[in-house]
Structure 1
Amino acid sequence: MSDASDPTGDRLPGREEEIRDIVERKGGVAPVRDEDGRYTVVGAASRETFANWLTPVGEHFVCHRNLVPEIDADSWTVSVAGPDGDLTLSMEDIREEFPTVAVAHTMECAGNNRGQHVPETSSVQWGCDAAGTAFWVGTPLSSVLRRVGVEEAGSRWLTAIGGDSPDDEAFARSVPLGKALDDCLLAYGMNGDPLPEEHGYPVRVVVPGWYGVNSVKWVEELRVTDGMVREGSLDRPGTHAYWQQEAYRIHPEGVTPEENDSVDDPDTWAQLESEAVDHPYTFDQNVMSIIGSPSGEESVTPRGDTVEVLGVAWAGDDRPTRVEISTDQGETWDDASLFGPDYDCAWRLFRYTWRPNPGEYTLYSRATDERGRTQPPTISDPEDWETALDDGEYPWNEGGYAANAYEPNGVDVVVSE
């Protein structure tokens, strides 16, 4: 995002203290560079996180702008506005009056891989550490929305508003109502435990397969609307469209995107390829893969004459169908095997049996999704925005969003005798 236009751009006191507390409590995460101190951000501390299908809570990344609010779960309510009127739900109502489901979802920050942009963009300089897969437990949004008369989506949207914002600012995000009715949750559990406070306790929206910004934490209000949230559309004081209409949009440097009521296709890559939206919104995740083992943190000794390469691949609402491995910096490629749990909107494990000689190597992984879209090797130069996709590169963008190039995520490995 553009720091100059961020309405919440002042440094928040208490940020470093909150990050230290999360790192010490979780154990498997590390702080991520954010020189302006505007976000609470920690990412997976080791690549080994990405050699496993389920991400422990202690290794799952965290990202939010406002400090964790002080919560009294007994008094927390979620208001729901629909065509048949308004509904106010307590946490007991949400847990007891509706079905309970568990959904596997790979959560990825829209700014994951931002730190790979050259020149550097603004905000948090993530590597590939802002992704994790968990089981999210909660109430289907479809069940809640039926209570207020929502049976069909049409062209409408669902707007969620977080309860972590100051009075003059709202963190509001809109998703197509069809997606909300299909598989979204009001989640209050994570990996079998109550939702941790830094992940939105007592309740958050979870939008499977979509970038994490759409899964509003500490949710306190849901509204069925004719279009996406726009400035002035919520009938409340202050600003409330920034996080939908300006931030988390993909655009070249120096551009302020225009507001839109709707988009025809929420698939982020499809928006990049088409001319229907000038500056794409970060909704559905782009195809992506990460090698988790070898991690590059220590030398590798083959067992017999082989080394097992393990990692994860995902593609948002779509499925990863192929993963390839290169052990010679992209000169040649071999197919890895997908294995393990196979859930919609969650990553797949991959493995590759490698027979290396002693020496130094750089390993790459690249995934292809069911639509035939493959990770590009690099991120373009800023001036190549117009031609990046045609040239086989991911477009450098001012916010550093939705990048999925494979070369920056290569892992350097030393193979010993």
Structure 2
Amino acid sequence: MTKTPESESSYDRRRLDQWLAGEARADGADRRDLLRLLAAAGLASAVPLGLSAPAVSAAAGPGIVKPLPPERFIIHGTNAETRFEALAETGHTTPVSHFFVRNHTTTPRVDAKTWRLTVWGDGLTGKARTFSLADLKRLPSVTRTAFVECAGNGRNFYTTQQHQPASGTAWTLGAIGTARWRGARLADVLRLAGLSHRAVDVMPRGLDDEYLTSTGTNYGRVRRPMPVSKALDDVLLAYEMNGAPLPPDHGYPVRVLAPSWIGISSIKWVGDIEVSATPLYSPWNTDLYRLFGEAYPAEGSAPLTRQTLKSAFELPWNVTLPAHRRHRLTGRAWSAAGAITRVEVSTDGGGTWRRARLHDPSYRGTWTRWSVPWTPDRTGPAELLSRASDSSGRTQPETTVHNTQGYLFDAVVRHAVTVAA
């Protein structure tokens, strides 16, 4: 028996009550992180033990599968960032050939014929339930155009613009892509599996290799819980991307799509989903994907959920443009909180601003293309700025409050160019 999902705020209150009562479970989270979090709540002596997940496996492939031509991608270890200027040749959705890749290890090669999704846990009314790809395709399908964006997108600018170092991959603004996703509602799968009214957390886990930190700690396979309220709202188990089966690097045969939430919530190559009647913690919502730093409590912020507001030029960094010629500056703006309502552009380093023309109907959780003409009349270095506003009333700020891991950078970016005679 199921019930209408509770609001996210009431879910948070319920989850906190359970946490404070010592009823949370930590699946592979570092003990020191749990001690720190619980100490802040006055519960350092009540650290619960985690339970093991069912065994799943997949053959690991060599790194990233698809071609990564340098004119489209910047390589960051196991990751590939889209060069934003390469998007100028694309439409509203990002082709697979241009879509960024965020991998913790390597892209696994999974056989769709033998792939199974196991839904299990004490948040169900009965035993575990398995689903094949054919089972998912028999359910009503939903198609949704949405971006997937790494929480660290823009991290590089904490250092280069704000002179505040941040750890992690030094993404500029290309750790995002927008696609047309098709799949089954996670809500439908959970109900078929026997979702209980006691359930509070849903934790998908990927089939990629276990993640070893630089210090040798084994975090296990990538997994991160989300509240039942989110899982029953708009989350998909996607099996198509831009009208074709998911490519290997983007989650084949099935991935989670959690619209508007940080990219780690959209688990790729999903193999099992734990449904829990008690709050769940993993390394990806304890020492990772929280905000730490001088502006935050010692235990860090609450686990990150929704992405933020950004805009970017489809223009190479430090490009040289001829003076006294008309240029059409193009870019994209996006927000997880509302539709883009306005984009303003400054071509004099922020001295003056004018509105850009918007070229797409705007919706929350996707992006809007924009353009503005510019005829530079002075030679030398220049800074181009774009500033987006959304229907929630937010406008990109001049600076972003610093956090040590460089998440959720949303300040106006200063894009350097040179104007030559």
Please tell me the TM-score bracket, short chain as reference.
0.7 to 0.9
Quote the Cα distance in structure 2 between the aligned partners of 1:288 and 1:413: 23
Q: Taking structure 1 as reference, are residues 341 and 322 closer, same or farther at Cα in structure 2, changes over 3 Å only?
A: closer
Q: Does 1:371 align with 2:392?
A: yes
Shift of the 374–343 alpha-carbon distance from structure 1 to 2, 3 Å rule, reads closer
Alpha-carbon distance between aligned partners in 2 of 1:395 and 1:255, rounded to the nearest angstrom: 10
1:402 is the counterpart of 2:408? yes
Q: Specify the alignment match of 1:90 in structure 2.
A: 132
- Structure 2 unmatched ranges of 5 or more: 1-29, 34-59, 211-217
RMSD: 3.1
Within the candidate set 174, 195, 199, 1:129 is matched to 174
Q: Aligned letter for 1:156?
A: V
Query: How far apart are the structure 2 equivalents of 1:22 and 1:30?
Result: 14
Could you say which residue in structure 2 is the equivalent of 1:238? Answer: none
Q: What is the CA distance between 1:295 and its match in structure 2?
A: 6.5
Q: Which residue matches 1:73?
A: 112
Q: Does 1:349 align with 2:369?
A: yes
Contact 1:114 1:124 in 2 (8 A): yes
Q: Which runs of 5+ in 1 are unaligned?
A: 7-14, 35-39, 231-240, 259-277, 378-392
Q: Distance in 2 between matches of 1:64 and 1:226?
A: 30
Distance verdict in 2 for CA 1:413–1:228, change over 3 Å: farther
3-state DSSP of counterpart to 2:351? coil
- State the SS of the aligned residue for 2:395: coil
Cα 1:117/1:295, change in 2 over 3 Å: closer
Residue by residue over 1:302-340, the C-alpha shift from the partner in whole angstroms, topping out at 9 and shown as x without a partner, is 7xx642221111111422222111111011111222221
The TM-score with structure 2 as length reference comes to: 0.74
Matched residue, 2:146: 105
Question: Which residue identity is paired with 1:135?
Answer: R
Question: Structure 2: how far apart are the matches of 1:307 and 1:415?
Answer: 13
Aligned position for 2:185:
140
Q: CA deviation at 1:186?
A: 0.5
Equivalent residue for 1:289? Answer: 311
SS in 1 for 2:274: strand
Superposed CA deviations along residues 37-71 of structure 1, whole A, max 9, x for unmatched, are: xxx11011342416742211111111111222231
Give 1:150 deviation, angstroms: 4.0
Matched letter for residue 90 of structure 1? S
Selected match of 1:244 from 282, 285, 288: 285
SS at match of 2:193: coil
Distance 2:298 2:278 in 1: 17
Work out the percentage of aligned pairs sharing the same amino acid: 34
Q: CA deviation at 1:148?
A: 2.6
Tell me, yes or no, if the aligned pair for 1:159 and 1:224 is still in contact at 8 Å.
yes
Deviations 1:188-218 (A, max 9, x none): 1111221111111111100111111110111
| Higher Rg of the two aligned structures | 2
**AA in 2 matched with 1:29:** F
**1:64 alignment partner in structure 2:** 103
* 1:414 counterpart (388, 404, 419): 419
Corresponding position of 2:244: 193
Work out which of the residue numbers 322, 336, 353 in structure 1 matches 2:356: 336
- Partners of 1:366 and 1:16 in 2: CA distance: 41
Cα drift, residue 413 of structure 1: 4.7
1:63 is paired with a residue whose SS is coil
Distance 2:353 2:318 in 1: 20
CA distance 1:90–1:47, shift in 2 (3 Å):
same
Output the CA distance in 2 between the equivalents of 1:106 and 1:129. Answer: 12
2:328 to 294, 308, 311: 308
1:153-210 deviation per Cα after TM superposition (whole angstroms, max 9, x unaligned): x982321111224397232112222222221110111112211111111111001111
Q: Is the 8 A contact 2:153 2:176 kept in 1?
A: yes
On the 8 A contact 2:72/2:86 being kept in 1, the answer is no
Which shows bigger deviation, 341-350 or 142-151?
A: 142-151
* Native 8 Å contact 1:29 1:60 kept in 2: no
Number of aligned residues: 349
Three-state SS of the structure 1 residue aligned to 2:314 is strand
